[in-house]
């Protein structure tokens, strides 16, 4: 039996914080991705360029640098706003929400391309048919294109979700007491870094297995053709 020297509860709390960080970043990241893809596919030139700069810059920078930039830059911006409103005290923005913003920002840049390609994979004739029926582009997108887009985008988004889960470890470097931070500190304190590194590895593998299962289930329910194909294979066997 592995001796965790009483760190069991802290590890569980760190794991739960990692889950909350991942889920929050995923939700906001999907919003960033949808906005970015919509801007890239927009007929407005300036929106296309803004989205292009967003994806190019974020994908071209080291992820750790993005985390530090948002964490320290966010503190400077918040302090400047507070001073402009007459408050000169110290403001602590914490580590959780800057971490969420950083991870969401990075996830959204990659999700933008996934959504853009998924929308582009839908035949243009569907847009034209809806237009001939008098539907606006917005109505066409939400009623016709959006549901189909997920079928194409989900496998790519699934891979990004797994990357996002591992990237939550970066937020430990700005002081968030998530799984990596807790196990690292425990290893230093007990002088058993390998033991706690293996504990962290097992916890991340468990989380990865859960995310993979959720993605597989979502693909099963969202893709009727895949369900039909599997039923046919089962009937033949």
Tell me what pLDDT residue 89 has. Answer: 73
Q: Residue 38 gets which letter from DSSP? A: H
**Helices 8-40 and 146-167, axial angle in degrees (round to 10):** 140
Residue 144 — pLDDT band, cuts 50, 70, 90? Answer: confident
All structural domains of the chain, each given as residue ranges with its CATH number in brackets, are: 20-178 (1.10.3720.10)
Tell me what pLDDT residue 177 has. Answer: 93
Tell me what pLDDT residue 88 has. Answer: 73
DSSP string covering 180-196: HHHHHHHHHHHT-HHHH
Give the tens place of pLDDT for each residue, 52-105.
Answer: 999 999 999 999 999 999 999 988 888 888 888 887 777 778 899 999 999 999
Interatomic CA distance for residues 100 and 94, integer angstroms: 11
Mean pLDDT for 16-32 is: 96
**Rg of the chain's alpha carbons, rounded to an integer?**
22
Lowest mean pLDDT segment, chosen from 1-10, 36-45, 197-206, 207-216: 1-10
Task: Tell me the pTM.
Answer: 0.89
Percent of the chain topping pLDDT 70? 94
Residue located via tokens 């294109």? 145
Indicate the SS3 state at residue 123: coil
């Amino acid at each position: 039996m592995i001796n965790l020297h009483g760190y069991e509860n802290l590890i569980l709390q760190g794991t739960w914080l990692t889950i909350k960080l991942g889920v929050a970043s995923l939700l906001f990241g999907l919003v960033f991705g949808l906005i970015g893809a919509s801007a890239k596919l927009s007929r407005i030139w300036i929106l296309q360029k803004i989205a292009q700069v967003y994806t190019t810059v974020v994908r071209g920078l080291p992820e750790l640098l993005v985390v530090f930039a948002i964490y320290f830059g966010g503190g400077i911006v918040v302090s400047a706003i507070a001073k402009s409103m007459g408050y000169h005290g110290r403001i602590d923005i914490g580590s959780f929400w800057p971490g969420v913003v950083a991870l969401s920002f990075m996830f959204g840049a990659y999700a933008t391309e996934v959504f853009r390609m998924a929308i582009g994979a839908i035949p243009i004739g569907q847009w034209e048919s809806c237009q001939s029926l008098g539907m606006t582009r917005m109505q066409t997108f939400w009623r016709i294109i959006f549901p189909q887009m997920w079928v194409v985008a989900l496998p790519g988004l699934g891979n990004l979700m797994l990357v996002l889960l591992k990237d939550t470890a970066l937020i430990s470097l700005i002081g968030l007491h998530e799984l990596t931070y807790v196990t690292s500190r425990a290893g230093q304190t007990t002088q058993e870094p390998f033991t706690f590194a293996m504990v962290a590895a097992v916890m991340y593998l468990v989380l990865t297995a859960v995310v993979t299962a959720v993605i597989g289930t979502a693909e099963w329910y969202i893709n009727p053709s895949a369900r039909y194909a599997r039923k046919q294979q089962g009937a033949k066997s």
